[in-house]
Structure 1
């Protein structure tokens, strides 16, 4: 019952939570998506065609340029091991549902691996875990069918109870919801050979948070990208979408 306490309290707390959400919306600093290339080829070694698809963190909000955002840091980390052909489709406020709708706009080309970064906006919209799971499956199935993606890395939903911008009890409610959605990603990885899940286990220290109190800083993107590169290269299977690993 303790796990579901936040759900039980949503209704009596609804007026306060709504007021806090409005306050956050009015107070939050609107950081832009950073400029810079969103696709490219670099490195030497086995080929890896990588699609990065997701929300404002995928798009690098909180960094000054794409080079110091997630895609740039990840491209540098991977290009030391593979010939990386990468493409970024990240958008502020994106949910799993909006990424599904974006599929026709993706490049008409194959990818070996898709890095999916969703959950924060699904959390703030209080998307039901079963709905989140179904949409994640639909997105992966669609990417497999249209782009030949053979492997998926699901980046974990961040623990929103640590976001400095959010007041209590809104921070607690969203943190509990984020944990439920992240558990669905972990469950998917345990069930599907081609899927792995990387928990977002960053230390939530001030220098790892952007000035808006919500997005990662450049230092956080550097750490996160190293974690993702390790997951992508695990077991030497990065260059083959057909070879995959389970979550561990």
Structure 2
């Protein structure tokens, strides 16, 4: 998309964004514990870092959210005991997620999963800067939590968000695709980071009532895909029981 077109549409996009914010219902983060243990066998420590999608906005409990689907699927697939912790807050960018981690000092972990990026797009963080911020996040996790690998979930197809009107939906969707492509290119240069493409449909019946956050079907799709990636690609075969 050309910068000139984006600038030409700027007044309309700003008005649409303001109206959308005003009419969108404010949904709470999912209730329930943000740490726990599931499954049996050798221990795998998992840290989940995220924004509203990590926090489970759009469903009632963490069991229905990404954390629940991810940890249950992973424990079953390995099989192992998955000890997990969730550090997430609605509305945060990648840079703010790093600041949150630095304040909260999460437990040590073996693998981290990061579910971030939508707010970088909304706040118009340039994609190159967002990649640098993801690198800083990954490097901090590797240095301070003991994780061996950081898995980045993809940005969702924001051009499918039912809440967003056109042309705002088209513009935001284009930005999200650019951010996700930059994330994938960067992750491919590192052995301690991965980007997991996930095919997902954001039809209205799969989304939360606000038309912006995931519903349980989307959380299930993403949680299961991330678990399969960790089980199949990151855990050596000889450690499975």
> CA offset at residue 108 of structure 1?
4.9
2:63 aligned counterpart, secondary structure = helix
> CA offset at residue 238 of structure 1?
6.8
User: What is the TM-score of this pair, normalised by structure 2?
Assistant: 0.93
Aligned residue number for residue 64 of structure 1: 60
How far apart, CA to CA, are the structure 2 residues paired with 1:92 and 1:70?
14
**After the TM superposition, which residues 122-141 of structure 1 pair with which residues of structure 2 at under 5 Å, given as runs?**
122-141=120-139
**CA shift digits 1:20-73 (9 cap, x unpaired):** 000010010111001101001121123211110011000001111111111112
**After the TM superposition, which residues 28-43 of structure 1 pair with which residues of structure 2 at under 5 Å, given as runs?**
28-43=24-39
More deviation, 128-137/220-229:
220-229
Aligned residue number for residue 198 of structure 2: 200
> CA offset at residue 134 of structure 1?
0.5
How far apart, CA to CA, are the structure 1 residues paired with 2:4 and 2:173?
15
> CA offset at residue 239 of structure 1?
9.4
- Pair 1:50–1:22, CA change in 2 (3 A): same
How far apart, CA to CA, are the structure 2 residues paired with 1:235 and 1:102?
28
8 Å contact 2:34–2:87 — kept in the other structure?
yes
**After the TM superposition, which residues 1-248 of structure 1 pair with which residues of structure 2 at under 5 Å, given as runs?**
4-5=1-2, 7-80=3-76, 81-235=79-233, 237=235
> How many residues are treated as equivalent by the alignment?
236
8 Å contact 2:109–2:145 — kept in the other structure?
yes
- Pair 1:193–1:120, CA change in 2 (3 A): same
How far apart, CA to CA, are the structure 1 residues paired with 2:166 and 2:223?
30
8 Å contact 2:151–2:193 — kept in the other structure?
yes
8 Å contact 2:94–2:133 — kept in the other structure?
yes
How far apart, CA to CA, are the structure 2 residues paired with 1:236 and 1:216?
26
How far apart, CA to CA, are the structure 2 residues paired with 1:222 and 1:34?
14
How far apart, CA to CA, are the structure 2 residues paired with 1:238 and 1:176?
37
1:85 aligned counterpart, secondary structure = strand
8 Å contact 2:33–2:62 — kept in the other structure?
yes
User: What is the TM-score of this pair, normalised by structure 1?
Assistant: 0.91
2:82 aligned counterpart, secondary structure = strand
> CA offset at residue 138 of structure 1?
0.5
1:191 aligned counterpart, secondary structure = coil
**CA shift digits 1:109-141 (9 cap, x unpaired):** 311111011110000111101100100000111
